[in-house]
Amino acid sequence: MPGPTAIVRKPGDDLSACELSYQERDAVDPGQLAEQHAGYVAALRVAGLNVITLPALPEFPDSVYVEDTAIVLDEVAILTRPGAPSRVGEVEPMAKILEPLRTCLTMEAPSTLDGGDVCLHDGVLYVGQGGRTNHAGLKELAHLVLDHGYRVKAVELGGCLHLKSAMSSLPDGRILIHRDWLNLSRVEHSGIIEAHPSEPCGANVLAVGERVICSSAYPRTNERLADEGFRLLEVNLSEVHKMEAAVTCPSLILN
């Protein structure tokens, strides 16, 4: 596989049964979502990534959000066990893609863990403890990555779906956060930038090399990042946000 790569999956047409936890259901336009997904893929390529595009899985409306199916590290890929029962079937199709690319280890019941709850920062895997990832999932992940030199730390959440809703790692070693949604005392960092108070969901961005892919829905947060010198790639993800998802959710990154 040549160079850093992103794996994405095309969205299906019937999105009415997507999982929601913290927001009201709002009709998603499949055509607009497909167009925005194409724009997202274009941004990944501009950031220097090769892109593997997988076909839609119509029976799984959330399957476009491939991040939750695996934790991909340099040495190994951990196939997760998503916390929403409707999403467990998304993992096996992703396993078939990852097995030629990484040694794959599979999480087992009673563990639950969504990839969106895991943020790798400075060699530490921070794991959100909210509604989708349980303590058994945290412990199993720690066991699976122990031989590869990673530490695992739990971070308590409140008011958001995943840890990456509240925290993102930035290219210069700092983190972007929404302070109200996580126990920041659990996170080791060299500095923070806070999402604008009016844009709590702006704390989710995707760092690719020296570029930062961010949502155009959060201009005040993006302005803070730009003022700090980050090279931004803004994408329109309005339909993605209706599905309680954000910038990191539609891709798995393999370095």
Catalytic residues: 162, 249
- CA distances, 253 to each of 7, 41, 106, 146, 190 (Å): 7, 12, 18, 21, 24
Residue type, 162: H
Which is nearest to 91 in space by CA: 114, 75, 110, 73?
Answer: 114
Q: Say if strands 231-235 and 151-156 run parallel, antiparallel, or are unpaired.
A: unpaired
53: tokens are 């595009």
